[in-house]
Structure 1
């Protein structure tokens, strides 16, 4: 995460707003489709540059398993975040558990590593999918 001041251009703010309005991680082209509703001349590079900037400044996390992005709900925290993703509907939530982050940090240090970036991705089934029986395939 960068210590530089954050400058939210119109494009960056639009991408951030799109992610704020979603409860599931969004791929760059999904974001582009929504961005084109307010900026018809938007191109993929517009989205990728905004996502790179927002990720660098800790406002957005990349969900590697889905090649998608999710809003960081705790940008003021500089520790390891956990993202829990429903494997049935792709709904995702972010958690920043300090105890878990400390444990991961300690394990890395004990093994002789210094963490530069860590996001734990946890695949699960959300309560709604479990209740609707969508989660049975995951069990």
Structure 2
């Protein structure tokens, strides 16, 4: 470094702090990246997409931000995919297509109660319940060569959901 050239170490601390993003800024960025996705995405996908968007977030920041958004009830972790999606409504479980990664939300308020009753009969104290079922969605099952063209439609809306299933 040349004498007289600016140094980060010598920079005004207020200027360095001004460049830092607030938790609210990070929340908004992660929520926007999740909203732009047509499927659940991993924390590393979020980090990669933030770079493409010109607002880089390192994975550690992504995980902290996701934890905060989950606590606020805005984001849901799809456990078996190690991925995240916006929590657009209350739900009790999900169906995950192993071919296209589309997620359908299950809405059955009695589901957890029935599972709790079953566990109670075995003397098991449940701390957390995750209901995720894997298989093949209707669109992939009807195509010989599955692709992801139907993915956005399947994840975010379905005009004819089966009973007790709500498309996200």
Query: Which range, TM-score by smaller chain?
Result: 0.7 to 0.9
In the alignment, the residues of structure 2 paired with residue 16 and residue 105 of structure 1 have an alpha-carbon distance, to the nearest angstrom, of 32
Deviations 1:4-47 (A, max 9, x none): xxxx7121122122223333210111111222244534211121
**Contact (CA 8 Å) 1:32, 1:44: kept in 2 or not?**
yes
5+ residue gaps, structure 2: 1-22, 147-168
5+ residue gaps, structure 1: 1-7
Using structure 2 for the length normalisation, give the TM-score. 0.63
Out of 45, 56, 71, the position equivalent to 1:30 is: 45
Q: How many residues align?
A: 124
- Cα RMSD of the aligned pairs, angstroms, is 2.2
Counterpart position of 1:96: 107
In the alignment, the residues of structure 1 paired with residue 44 and residue 95 of structure 2 have an alpha-carbon distance, to the nearest angstrom, of 22
1:116 aligns with 2:127: yes
Counterpart position of 2:63: 48
1:132 aligns with 2:147: no
Q: Which entry has the higher C-alpha Rg, 1 or 2?
A: 2
Counterpart position of 1:57: 72
